[in-house]
């Protein structure tokens, strides 16, 4: 396994940003975990939401006295292909895994566990993220572990879910963004509901002035004098980029000068399908010069993502399945009005009509785009409400607090009491 380095962060830096009381609550919870070794494992160090979360969560855990580390398994193309299919199975697109796929999946997990044992990697608590590495704990001989389910598992392939369930049973507790992701877990007391969060202090989320955002966007070929709608997301079938193009085409009937940007830097090692989706989206866009498709990681970095999330008139995240959708919280944090697909964790983040708009199809997405472009007062008030909602519920210290509670509960062996306190997905912060 490969250790992923992270930057140093101090909890005190969030003081004045997150609600009062959260910092002191974290500090007192952390006292129970001083010196504990907590090891996070996932599939890939970059690209996608899990890597994004761990970059901040791991150093924040260290800042409160925990010996936290982050590892990824050895990259392997065949394994990543199976991992992607597994992801599709959990999100429910009718795909399945062959016997060979399952053998390869288990073998790579076993190999990774052996590699960890060979270098003497141990932990008081293992935090294992997503299904790719779910069986790892079994091969580590089931030390105390928590499995974190980041995907939208509301309609999974039931046979695959059943197969995975035997590996879930190795874990003392399971964390998921929404209660319905693991509805039939036969030991529901072990499920702790905690949606992810964003880090307001990283450069990608520092507030960017509108002039600077426009300047960056102009450098990417966007006309700063015309309205812009953007979706910032990996090129992935569940993010429905085709539906975004449909919505843009419909909205352009009312707003003929509208521009669309589909922004997704191709960085995730394990996302072998992204190129296929990108090719298809290019074709679907049909050479429209007002559809900007940006994917080169040498061009799209943190500043550019920030500029799109801050400088677009409307951000769309038209997913049809979404475990959480960090991009929604990210744009809301920048005060930009967001239209989200009415699914998974997006439903948790957008209170329809108040902190954003939820849509079920391209036609309603188009209507929402036109509404927000024509009514700038509404757009502004939704943007402000969205930002406040993220401040209260979806910033990194709240997620740290949840992980600390889970860790305390697992290490003290009283999982069900935490479960009962936190079963409701919202509100996430009391004050
Ligand atoms: N992201 C990025 N550059 C891009 C596209 C996405 O940095 O070009 C980031 C985005 O800011 C977010 C993460 O990738 O932090 C995506 O997380 P999300 O939960 O929205 O979706 P996932 O990719 O995990 O399905």
Distance of CA 234 from the midpoint of ligand 1 (Å): 6
- pLDDT value at residue 93: 73
Comparing CA positions, the residue from 399, 417, 394 lying closest to residue 25 is 399
317 lines ligand 1 (CB under 6 A): no
Tell me which of 233, 318, 338, 396 to substitute to probe ligand 1's pocket, judged by most ligand atoms within 8 Å of the beta carbon. 233
Q: From start to end of 240-343, where are the E strands?
A: 259-263, 291-294, 314-317, 338-341
Residues 328 and 386 sit within 8 Å (Cβ to Cβ): no
394 lines ligand 1 (CB under 6 A): no
327 lines ligand 1 (CB under 6 A): yes
Q: Whose CA is nearest to atom 9 of ligand 1?
A: 48
48 lines ligand 1 (CB under 6 A): yes
Domain 2-197+395-425: CATH superfamily is Glycogen Phosphorylase B; (3.40.50.2000)
241 lines ligand 1 (CB under 6 A): no
CB atoms within 10 A of CB 377: 7
Angle at which helices 326-333 and 49-63 pack, to 10 degrees? 70
- pLDDT value at residue 303: 97
203-393 adopts what CATH topology? Rossmann fold (3.40.50)
Distances (CA, A) of 169 to 105, 161, 350: 18, 12, 33
332 lines ligand 1 (CB under 6 A): no
- pLDDT value at residue 231: 98
Atom of ligand 1 nearest to the CA of 232: 5
- pLDDT value at residue 258: 98
Distance of CA 35 from the midpoint of ligand 1 (Å): 32
235 lines ligand 1 (CB under 6 A): no
Query: Which phi and psi (to 5°) does residue 4 adopt?
Result: -100, 120
* Sign of torsion over alpha carbons 323, 326, 332, 338: negative
Distance of CA 145 from the midpoint of ligand 1 (Å): 26
Comparing CA positions, the residue from 207, 206, 204, 169 lying closest to residue 186 is 169
Long-range contacts of 282-290 (CB under 8 A, 24+ apart): 284/241, 284/242, 284/245, 285/245, 290/258, 290/259, 290/260
Segment (H or E) for 344: helix 344-349
Token digits of residue 4? 């992923």
Tell how strand 338-341 and strand 357-359 pair up: parallel
- Supply the Cα-derived Rg of the chain in whole angstroms: 21
**Angstrom distance (rounded) from CA 75 to CA 84:** 13
pLDDT (tens digit per residue) in 401-414: 999 999 999 998 75
232 lines ligand 1 (CB under 6 A): yes
59 lines ligand 1 (CB under 6 A): no
Atom of ligand 1 nearest to the CA of 198: 15
Tell me which of 216, 326, 396 to substitute to probe ligand 1's pocket, judged by most ligand atoms within 8 Å of the beta carbon. 326
Q: Residue ranges per domain, the chain?
A: 2-197+395-425, 203-393
Atom of ligand 1 nearest to the CA of 324: 19
Tell me which of 44, 48, 205, 344 to substitute to probe ligand 1's pocket, judged by most ligand atoms within 8 Å of the beta carbon. 48
Strand-pair partners of 294: 263
Atom of ligand 1 nearest to the CA of 238: 25
Helix-then-strand count for the chain, H and E: 16, 13
- pLDDT value at residue 185: 57
Tell how strand 37-42 and strand 67-72 pair up: parallel
Residue with tokens 């952390």: 30
- pLDDT value at residue 189: 67
264 lines ligand 1 (CB under 6 A): yes
Distance of CA 88 from the midpoint of ligand 1 (Å): 17
Long-range contacts of 136-141 (CB under 8 A, 24+ apart): 136/41, 136/73, 136/109, 136/112, 137/167, 137/170, 137/171, 138/109, 138/167, 138/170, 139/109, 139/110, 139/112, 139/113, 139/114, 140/113, 140/116
- pLDDT value at residue 270: 66
pLDDT (tens digit per residue) in 291-322: 999 999 999 999 999 999 999 999 999 999 99
Distance of CA 48 from the midpoint of ligand 1 (Å): 5
pLDDT (tens digit per residue) in 72-131: 999 999 999 999 999 999 988 778 899 999 999 999 999 999 999 999 999 999 999 999
Strand-pair partners of 316: 339
**Angstrom distance (rounded) from CA 383 to CA 409:** 37
Segment (H or E) for 303: helix 302-311
Tell how strand 67-72 and strand 2-3 pair up: antiparallel
Atom of ligand 1 nearest to the CA of 236: 25
**Angstrom distance (rounded) from CA 249 to CA 193:** 38
Distance of CA 82 from the midpoint of ligand 1 (Å): 21
| Residues of the chain below pLDDT 70 | 183-189, 269-270, 414-431
Strand-pair partners of 149: 176
- pLDDT value at residue 429: 57
């Amino acid at each position: 396994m490969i250790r992923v380095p992270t930057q140093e962060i101090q909890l005190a830096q969030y003081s004045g940003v997150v609600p009062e009381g959260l910092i002191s609550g974290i500090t007192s919870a952390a006292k129970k975990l001083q010196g504990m070794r907590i090891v996070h494992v996932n599939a890939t160090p970059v690209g996608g939401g899990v890597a994004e979360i761990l970059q901040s969560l791991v150093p924040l855990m260290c800042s409160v006295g925990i010996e936290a580390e982050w590892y990824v398994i050895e990259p392997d193309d065949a394994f990543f292909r199976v991992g992607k299919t597994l992801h599709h199975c959990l999100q429910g697109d009718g795909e399945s895994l062959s016997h060979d796929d399952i053998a390869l999946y288990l073998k790579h997990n076993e190999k990774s566990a052996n590699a960890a044992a060979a270098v003497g990697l141990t932990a008081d608590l293992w935090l294992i993220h997503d299904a790719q590495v779910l069986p790892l704990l079994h091969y580590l001989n089931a030390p105390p572990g928590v499995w974190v389910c980041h995907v939208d598992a509301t309609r999974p392939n039931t046979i695959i879910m059943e197969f995975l369930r035997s590996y879930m049973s190795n874990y003392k507790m399971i964390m998921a963004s929404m209660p319905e992701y693991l509805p039939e877990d036969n030991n529901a007391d072990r499920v702790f509901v905690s949606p992810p969060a964003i880090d307001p202090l990283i450069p990608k989320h520092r507030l960017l002035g509108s002039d600077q955002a426009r300047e960056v966007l102009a450098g990417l070929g966007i006309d700063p004098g015309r309205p812009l709608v953007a979706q910032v997301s990996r090129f992935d079938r569940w993010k429905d980029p085709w539906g975004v193009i449909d919505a843009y085409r419909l909205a352009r009937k009312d707003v003929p000068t509208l521009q669309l940007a589909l922004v997704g830097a191709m960085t995730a090692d394990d996302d072998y399908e992204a190129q296929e989706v990108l090719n298809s989206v290019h074709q679907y866009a049909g050479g429209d010069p007002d559809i900007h498709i940006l994917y080169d990681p040498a061009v799209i970095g943190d500043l550019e993502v920030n500029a799109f999330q801050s400088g677009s008139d409307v951000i769309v995240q038209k997913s049809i399945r979404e475990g959480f959708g960090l991009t929604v919280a990210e744009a809301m944090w920048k005060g930009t009005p967001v239209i989200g697909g009415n699914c998974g964790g997006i439903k948790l983040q957008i209170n329809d009509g108040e902190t954003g708009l939820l849509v079920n199809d391209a036609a309603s997405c188009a209507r929402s785009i036109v509404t927000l472009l024509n009514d700038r007062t509404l757009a502004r008030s939704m943007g402000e409400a969205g930002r406040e909602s993220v401040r209260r519920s979806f910033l990194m210290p709240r997620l740290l607090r949840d992980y600390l509670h889970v860790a305390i509960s697992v290490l003290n062996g009283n999982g069900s009491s935490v479960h009962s306190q936190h079963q409701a997905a919202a509100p996430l912060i009391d004050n």
